Structure 1
């Protein structure tokens, strides 16, 4: 007999609404706290958004990032970030480092004299090092990137709102979008709290979080719509509890498998993708929470149509099979 891993029993009767005031209130408090952090501490924008210069340094000798940093820190005025670039196409005698220097002047670029000074500092510890490419991002371009990022996240959120509205009802759309805003705000809040580098890769993570979270929410909403038409006399809160319990195994398994894929990348992926992976990992966790608790709480508060094909009032003598389904308190 084949072994089958079960993280959640096939049938559960958990009362997810027992602490709905606490869960909803906690989400509101965390969202407000995230906004306060963003207004007071701000985000630690990377070079993509602040402007600066990226230098691609190549050498035939293996190098240590710490040695490169020690050589450049005395001569670099702006913020300094050094990462080693890994590529399976690189041969054993090709070693590449990416050196990022924060904005040093209004143009966002470094002078040829500064470039020569940086190369000379590195050649003292590695005579074979060369600068293969130098790219600069000025403050005007970085400002445009910030606005483009805001437009991208806003457009994705509006598109999701319209999709949910057309597929279900406006109450579902409001609940889904509030859950998305919750996920994005909490992700921005933790980046602000720990001053993690926020760049274009983080924007990509935010957009991915939007897609992951709404996918989870749509699965629950789709089952909820089926149950609303099936159990027309069952109280709305019980239908929602039944729905979340029926989809709980899928929600947990999807979240756990995604975390299992992201956790090794967070530990072993290196500095280049660490912030992206952390944003994804955090987004998956808050996305599962908002799907199970926040989105359905909003729909419950707004109310929802019970039957799309028949009058809401059941015929005399009509009774639902699961009208008395009990739900135990959530742990």
Structure 2
């Protein structure tokens, strides 16, 4: 029996997407308000990349006793130390927040305090866990974490700005406005997801957001290309009907791309371990929200901004 994903997704559909634009706008508005509210009230669970601290990844000879390890490390006076398994029962991830130096005015005092705390933790683990193997030890100071915060915000801002400029030259200002609003919609929704789920927000999360921006933009450009072609081809067709036709013509490609991407991401989420769980979940959310926004946000906005037939005559 021959199985084909292309045969599951019809090549031609007649779904009235534009007819449901007001329901989609209401849903998006509620999602944006909820995401901003969650971000403002709950905040993000920032990883040591952004707040500074120490991350130690170890492998024990036998199944790890997390309670014993946690009690021993918390007794060192470095504040609450997070201890969790990831993957196998003998794989342990230890996180310790930034340490306050005794004399903050001394240059590099914070970095030294953090390094000393990391050394003490490693010595304690060696004593209590014979044969322990240190796979990874990362120490991030406050100066580095502050720079990473600024770099992360700058990266997302530049990505959105570059997309706006690209679409403006590739299409027209109505398309550019719709694409950037859709991208902003996706970024805010993703930040809200991190606030609600409290997945650790680190550099991998920034990479996930940038990937989501690229994925959503690619999906939107495919739909926009078809809309522009149809604007030249069907000069007298009502715009709402033309938008529906264009979305349906690209729907097969959109769904096939999304489904195949989600298969890989779900495998990464369930088999990639705790370290990649936040990243893979963000990507899964991003694919879903990006597919939604390209159909129900970016395209209907062209109807509101009143894209004209004359502007579609230019070639890229």
> For 1:13 and 1:152, how far apart are their aligned partners in 2?
39
Q: Provide the C-alpha distance between the structure 1 equivalents of 2:13 and 2:272, rounded to a whole number of angstroms.
A: 37
Q: 1:74 to 1:2 in 2, by over 3 A?
A: same
- 2:75 is the alignment partner of 1:80: no
RMSD value, Cα: 2.7
Q: 1:99: which partner in 2?
A: 94
Instruction: Count matched residues.
Output: 302
Q: Which residue of 2 aligns with 1:12?
A: 13
Unaligned runs of 5+ in 2: 102-109
- In structure 2, relative to structure 1, the CA distance for the partners of 1:266 and 1:73 (3 Å cut) is farther
In structure 1, the partner of 2:64 is 64
Change (3 A) 1:267 1:203: same
CA–CA distance in structure 1, aligned partners of residues 238 and 297 of structure 2: 19
1:145-156 counterparts in 2 under 5 A? 145-156=148-159
Q: How does 1:293-308 map to 2 (within 5 A)?
A: 293-308=296-311
Over 6 Å off, 4+ runs:
none
Q: Which residue of 1 aligns with 2:181?
A: 178
- Tell me if 1:223 matches 2:223: no
Question: TM-score, structure 2 length as denominator?
Answer: 0.86
Contact 1:176 1:214 in 2 (8 A): yes
Task: Return 192-201 or 216-225, whichever deviates more.
Answer: 192-201
Which structure has the larger Rg?
A: 1
Deviation at residue 56 of structure 1 after TM alignment: 5.0
Q: Does 1:21 align with 2:22?
A: yes
Correspondence for 1:323: none
Partner SS, residue 281 of structure 1: helix
Match of 1:164 in 2: 167
Question: Going by fraction, where is helix more abundant, 1 or 2?
Answer: 2
Paired with 2:114 and 2:35, the residues of 1 have a C-alpha distance of: 39
Gaps of 5+ in 1: 87-94, 312-331
Q: Please give the alpha-carbon distance, in whole angstroms, between the structure 2 residues aligned to 1:36 and 1:297.
A: 26
